[in-house]
Homo-oligomer: A and B are copies of this chain.
Amino acid sequence: MSVDPISRFRRFNRAVTAEVGALDSSFLGRGRPLGAARVLNAIGHGRSDVAAVRDYLGLDSGLMSRLLRGLEEEGLVATTPHPDDARRRIAQLTDAGRQEFEAYERLSNERAEIFLARHPRPEALLAAMDLVASVFGRERVSIGEVSPRGEEALYCLGEYYGELARRFETGFDVSLSRDPHADSMVRPHGGFFVAFSDGLPIGCVGLSGKGGGMAEIKRLWVSPAARGLGLGRRLMQAAEDAARELGINILRLDTNSALPEARRLYERLGWREIARFNDDPYPDLFFEKHL
């Protein structure tokens, strides 16, 4: 019986091709070819620069131009020259365009809801989808610096605390831990970095400093769906790069032996175990790295 990995992969492909095809063609219900609908959606999602849309959708400049013209004639899009550079153009939805865009959004959301409702445990299904999407999108993960008070950061931190609570035998209570003040993770003291996969945050790390040549790495978290894809390393690299930029040359961090994969990561990245340097009740392992 051929239930080998390859057959399973190919079954997945066929199932998904059929379904995604149906999803795509549901966009056809609004009497507009798929190309035009995709451009409308890209603009609706905030890609206003014509070149950005073209790039995102992988379109030839001629084709892009024609699609844009079509949407303009329909009265859904208006283009204006870019204020800094009149060669470039920026496209924006008109009121009618925004309505049409929202109709597409509704369609898409409806399909998503129907699909998720097909399973008795949508959370398990979503976790599986996250995992697949993370592996597929592995090359398209970007790391950005954000405010540690912003919603992306808060989301990541919430997930991080939840994970610790699950993995520490004693649970985890933020208020008992040495919680770095958000100001310490903002320039010029430090920074806060979030990894985005197609717009969704899937990992974070904080660089917490007080001025001077020393800082701490805090709150390294990678979404379960994205583990094993080298994201921890990339986040640590982003934090180190920022530290160098800020003139920091000694980094420290604390962690717990209940998180063996974190320990392995630090060791692989050239961190050295040192003696306890704080009285936080949760960590039992302490590391340092000279840049």
Residue A275 is within 8 A (CB to CB) of chain B in the complex: no
Of the 9-residue stretches A46-54, A131-139, A250-258, A279-287, which lies at the interface with chain B?
A: A131-139
Q: Per a CB cutoff under 8 Å, which of B118, B136, B152 touches A15?
A: B136
Question: For the complex, would chain A's binding face be called helix, strand, loop or mixed by DSSP majority?
Answer: helix
Do A137 and B1 contact each other (CB < 8 Å), given the known contacts A112-B10, A124-B131, A132-B128?
Answer: no
Q: Evaluate contact between B9 and A129: CB separation under 8 angstroms.
A: yes
Within 8 A of B (CB), among A126-159: 126-138, 140, 151-152, 154-155
Q: Are the C-beta atoms of B199 and A11 separated by less than 8 Å?
A: yes
Number of interface residues of A (CB under 8 A): 58
A10-B108, A109-B6, A115-B9 given; A133·B198 CB < 8 A: no
Which chain B positions have C-beta within 8 A of A166? Answer: none
Q: How far is the CB of A286 from chain B (nearest CB, A)?
A: 27
Inter-chain CA distance A19–B138, complex, in Å, is 11
A142 to B1, CA, bound (A): 17
User: A20 near B: Cβ within 8 Å?
Assistant: yes
